[in-house]
Structure 1
Amino acid sequence: MEKIAVLTGGGDCPGLNAVLRSLVLTLEGAGGPEVVGLCDAYFGLLDDPPRLMPLDGKTVDGLLVEGGTVLGTSNSGDPFRWHDGSDRGDLVLERLRAMGVGGLISIGGDGSTAIAAGLMDRGLPVICVPKTIDNDVHGTDITFGFDSAVHCATEALDRLQTTGESHRRVMVLETMGRDAGWIALASGIAGGADVILLPEVPFSYDRVVAKILEERVRGLSYNLVVVAEGAAEQDQEPLFRDPEHRRLGGVGAVVAQRIQALAGIETRAVLLGHLQRGGSPSPGDRVLATTFGCAAAHCVLEDRWGVLVGMNNNRIHYIALDEVAGKVRTVPLNHSLMQTARSLGICLG
C-alpha cells in the first residue's frame, strides 16, 4: 500500500492534531505509505475538485500543542445521507481509489465510526481512532479530548465557587454530554459540586432542592450544581434549544430558575458550551492522542484493518468495528466515579 487517507470527523476537540502528528511521524519513520488528509472530513473528498492536504513530517511539525484540527472537520457530512438525499458512499470509494489510496484512517466519535463501518462493508479498508470530549465511544475506556474538557469545566467550577460564595448564590454549570454524563460527573467531583445531574439518572427537583437546603443548614454559603446537557427531569424529555435539528441546550437555565423558585435562593446559570472543545490539549490528552496515532500507524504497517484503536486497562487494544459501530458508552450506575459521588454525599438527582 503506497498511500492512505486520514480525516477528522464530527465535533472538534483537543488532541486531533496530536494524532495526525504521531500517525505521520510513525509511518514516515518506518518507511510506510504516504498520508493525504481529507479537508473537512468527507466534504473535502466529495467536493469538485477535492480539497486535500498532503501530510509529512514538516507539515505536522508543531501540531502537538495545537487545539482543533489542521484538516478541518464537520459533523454534518454523512456520505450515506448526503445533503441532497443521495447515497455517495460508492463515490467515496471511487475517488479514493482514483487517488491511489488503499485505506482510510477515520478519527472521530460514534457517528464517524458508524460511517467508517459502512464504508468498510463496501470494501474500503478502515481503521478508526476514537475522539470525543464526551468520552462516550464504545470499545475504549477513555477518549482524548475528555481530559481537556474536564479541566475546562473544573476551572469554571473553581471560578464559580468564589463568585457564588461572595453573593451566597447557587451556581449552575451546564456541560456537554448528550447521552453520557462523563464530563459532568468527573468535573463535578473535581470541582466540589453538591449536585450532579446526568443523562443516565432522571432527576427530581425535590431531591435537588432538599440537598441544597441541607447544605445551607450545615453552614455552606453557596452551592455548585453541574448539569449535563442531556439530563432530564423524571418522566420528561431532554431540553432541545433547536428541536428541528435535535440540538440540546438550555437545561442549566431551567434548572437554575426552578431552584430559585423552589428554594428561594438567588441562582445563576452558566452555559460552558464550546469552551470545552477549544484550546490546547491537556498533557494527558497529548499523551493519549499521540499513543492512539502511533497505534493506528502500526495497524497500517501490520495490515490490520477493520478495527478501532482503544485503551483497555491502560493498555492499547483493538476491537472490531462491527462490535462498536452505533453503540454509545454511557456512565454505568455502578461505576467507581458514581460510587465516589455517593460516598461524598453528592446528589445525583
Structure 2
Amino acid sequence: MKRIGVLTSGGDAPGMNPAVRAVVRKAIFHGLEVYGVYQGYQGLISGNIEKLELGSVGDIIHRGGTKLYSARCEEFKTVEGQKKGIAQLEKFGIEGLVVIGGDGSYMGAKALTEHGYPCVGVPGTIDNDIPGTDFTIGFDTAVNTVIDAIDKIRDTATSHERTFIIEVMGRNAGDIALWAGLSGGAETILIPEDPHDLDNIAERILKGHARGKKHSIIIVAEGVMSGNELAQKLKEKISLETRVSVLGHMQRGGSPTVSDRVLASRLGARAVELLMQGKGGRAVGIEKNALVDYDIIEALKMERKADMDLYRLSQELSI
C-alpha cells in the first residue's frame, strides 16, 4: 500500500488532531503518501480531498477539535452514497482509509469494508461508548473538563447551601457521569446503565440534611433525563429547590490531556501499521494498556458495558 487517506467524522473530540498527526507522520515515515478527507463522509462524497505533508499537521497536537473538520452525511448511509465515496478514493488513488470517530463513523467504515474497501477505525468520541477498547480518544479530556466545572460549582453550592444538578453528555453511556461523579465527590450519580430510583435519591438527600449536610452535587447523564426534568421531579417529591447546570458542548472542546494525546498517537500509528500489513476492516483499541484490533464488523456487535464496580464504589463513598 502506497497511498492512504484519513478522515474524522461525527462529534469532534479532543485528541482527534493528535490522531490525525500520528497517521500522517507515521505514514510518511514509512514512505507512504497521505491524503486528508475534509468534512467527514460528506467531503468524501464531494471529493474534498488533498495531500497532506509533514507541515500540514504541525502545531495541532495541542489543539482540540479536528483540523479535517466534521459533518453529518445522510447520503453516505445509502449504498449509492457509499459507492460515490469509493469512486472518489479510487480517483485519488487512495488504497486504504483511516476513519477517526464514534459509532456512526464506524458504521461508515463498516459499510466501506463490506464493499471490499480496506478501512481501519480509530475510536474518537468523548462518550467512551465504542466496543473493543477500554478508552476512546477524547474521553479523558472531557471528564477533566467536567471535573473542573464540578469543583467550581461546589464552591457555590457550599456558599449558598444548595443542591446542584449537573447534566453531562454521553448519549446512552454513563461513563462521563460515572468517572466525573466519582472523582468529583458527587453525592448522587445517575447513569443509563442502572435503573434510577427517585425515592432512594430523595431519601439520601434527606438523610444528608438530617446529619447537617446543607449542600450536595447530583450528576445526571443526558441519556437518563435532562437536568431540568430531574430538578422538577425532585421538587415534587421533597420540595427541594435545586439549581441546574447543563455543561453541553464545552465538554467536547479544549486542549487534549496527556492521556488523550498519547492514546491518539498510539492508535493513529497502529492504524497505519495495519494498513501497511494489508489488514483492512479492522478497529483499533486499547485494553489493559495494550493495543488491540478487532474485525470492525465483529467489534460493532460487541456489548459495551459500564464499570458497575466503579458505580457501586461511588455509592459507597457518597454516604
Deviations along 1:138-178, one digit per CA (max 9) or x if unpaired, are: 01011110001100111111111110111111100000122
* Mapping for residues 103-182 of structure 1, pairs under 5 Å: 103-182=96-175
Aligned equivalents of 1:332 and 1:152: distance in 2? 21
Aligned equivalents of 2:318 and 2:58: distance in 1? 47
Q: 2:5 aligns to what SS in structure 1? A: strand
Aligned CA distance change for structure 1 residues 78 and 177 (closer, same or farther; 3 Å) = farther
Equivalent residue, structure 2, for 1:254: 229
Equivalent residue, structure 2, for 1:226: 219
- Report the AA paired with residue 159 of structure 1: K
**Given that residues 311 and 317 in structure 1 are in contact (C-alpha distance below 8 angstroms), is that contact kept between their aligned partners in structure 2?**
yes
- Residue identity over aligned pairs, in percent, reads 38
Equivalent residue, structure 2, for 1:341: 314
- Report the AA paired with residue 59 of structure 1: S
Equivalent residue, structure 1, for 2:37: 38
Q: CA deviation at 1:63?
A: 0.9
Aligned CA distance change for structure 1 residues 327 and 149 (closer, same or farther; 3 Å) = same
- Any runs of at least 4 consecutive aligned residues in structure 1 with deviations exceeding 3 A, and if so which? 75-78
Q: How many residues align?
A: 319
**Given that residues 15 and 285 in structure 1 are in contact (C-alpha distance below 8 angstroms), is that contact kept between their aligned partners in structure 2?**
yes
Which residue of 300, 306, 310 corresponds with 1:331? 306
- Report the AA paired with residue 298 of structure 1: E
Aligned equivalents of 2:280 and 2:206: distance in 1? 55
Q: 1:106 aligns to what SS in structure 2? A: strand
Q: 1:329 aligns to what SS in structure 2? A: coil
- Report the AA paired with residue 271 of structure 2: A
Aligned CA distance change for structure 1 residues 274 and 326 (closer, same or farther; 3 Å) = farther
User: Structure 1 residue 100 and structure 2 residue 73: aligned?
Assistant: no
Equivalent residue, structure 1, for 2:14: 14
Aligned CA distance change for structure 1 residues 110 and 326 (closer, same or farther; 3 Å) = farther
Deviations along 1:264-309, one digit per CA (max 9) or x if unpaired, are: 3320101111000011111111111111111112112222221111
Which residue of 77, 80, 83 corresponds with 2:77? 80
TM-score (norm 1): 0.88
Bigger mean CA offset, 254-263 vs 66-75: 254-263
Aligned CA distance change for structure 1 residues 288 and 55 (closer, same or farther; 3 Å) = same
Q: CA deviation at 1:80?
A: 2.5
Aligned CA distance change for structure 1 residues 134 and 344 (closer, same or farther; 3 Å) = same
Task: Give ranges in structure 1 of 5+ residues lacking alignment.
Answer: 232-238, 240-250
Q: 1:292 aligns to what SS in structure 2? A: helix
Equivalent residue, structure 1, for 2:287: 312
Q: 1:330 aligns to what SS in structure 2? A: coil
Aligned equivalents of 1:23 and 1:134: distance in 2? 22
Aligned equivalents of 2:170 and 2:96: distance in 1? 32
Aligned equivalents of 1:315 and 1:331: distance in 2? 20
User: Structure 1 residue 195 and structure 2 residue 168: aligned?
Assistant: no
Equivalent residue, structure 2, for 1:303: 278
CA RMSD, Structure 1 to Structure 2 (Å): 1.6
Aligned equivalents of 1:305 and 1:56: distance in 2? 23
Q: CA deviation at 1:327?
A: 5.0
Bigger mean CA offset, 291-300 vs 192-201: 291-300
Aligned equivalents of 1:332 and 1:279: distance in 2? 26
Aligned CA distance change for structure 1 residues 78 and 218 (closer, same or farther; 3 Å) = farther
Task: Give ranges in structure 2 of 5+ residues lacking alignment.
Answer: none
Equivalent residue, structure 1, for 2:56: 59
Deviations along 1:158-211, one digit per CA (max 9) or x if unpaired, are: 111110111111100000122110000000001110110011112122111111
Equivalent residue, structure 2, for 1:273: 248
Which is helix-richer, 1 or 2? 2
TM-score (norm 2): 0.96
Aligned equivalents of 2:305 and 2:222: distance in 1? 14
**Given that residues 2 and 100 in structure 1 are in contact (C-alpha distance below 8 angstroms), is that contact kept between their aligned partners in structure 2?**
no
Equivalent residue, structure 2, for 1:285: 260
